[in-house]
Structure 1
Amino acid sequence: MEYLNAFLCGGILCAVGQIIIDKTQLTPARILTGYVVAGVLFSALGLYEPLVQWGGAGATVPLTGFGHTLAKGVREAVASDGWIGIFTGG
């Protein structure tokens, strides 16, 4: 079942990206950047973690997963070092 969930999750994310490419005049670079930003926003709102739990690699491998990972790292740095943790790096 894990494989099916990962396939469905990743496939839906990729299909949405392909539809955006086909139906708009946005360049692929802007769409990719938008996916990263969407991953950060969904992670900040607490919506992406349940998707990761359900979709596994289908949610963490696409660019939205990269944005989620960035947001998670910032959240951990702020939790350990306070707001100055944003600027301390890895």
Structure 2
Amino acid sequence: MFNMILPAFFVGGLICVIGQLLMDLTKPSFTPAHVLVTFVTGGAILGALGIYEPLVKFAGAGATIPLSGFGYSLAKGAIEAVGKRGILGALSGGVEATAVGIAAAVFFGYLMSITFNPKG
């Protein structure tokens, strides 16, 4: 059990440390939105190059849960769909591979918006 938990904790924590360092060391020009886009894009690029796959096999949820894992899933879905459906698969494969995560984010975001009042 610990051989699954420790790598996930270590890799997930390391990804979070990188994000925190990016925000702390590049203030005010590099906002949290920039970090989000950087992680998704970085995960997609590393996934397309085949570099992120060994990290996923080593760390499991520690590599797939952060935003870089979302980018990796987008790239992996697009690559697999291109193999099955040709060039049009590049447009639909990433969305199909991440549809559950996107739907969950929309649903829970809506649920939180109607449950809590924003401070403003």
TM-score range, shorter chain: over 0.9
Q: Does the CA-based 8 Å contact 2:78-2:92 persist in structure 1? A: no
- Normalising by structure 2, what TM-score? 0.72
Q: Deviations over 1:1-30 (max 9, x none)?
A: 110000000000000100111100200001
Greater gyration radius: 2
Offset of 1:86 from its aligned partner? Answer: 2.0
Q: Deviations over 1:61-87 (max 9, x none)?
A: 000000000001101110101112223
Larger RCO (CA under 8 A, 6+ residues apart):
1
- Normalising by structure 1, what TM-score? 0.95
User: Residue in 1 aligned with 2:109?
Assistant: none
In 2, distance between residues paired with 1:88 and 1:62? 22
In 2, distance between residues paired with 1:87 and 1:61? 23
| Count of paired positions | 90
Runs (4 or more) in structure 1 with deviation over 6 Å come to none
In 2, distance between residues paired with 1:8 and 1:14? 10
Q: SS where residue 46 of structure 1 aligns?
A: coil
Letter in 1 for 2:15: L
Q: Where does structure 2 lack aligned partners over 5 or more consecutive residues?
A: 97-120
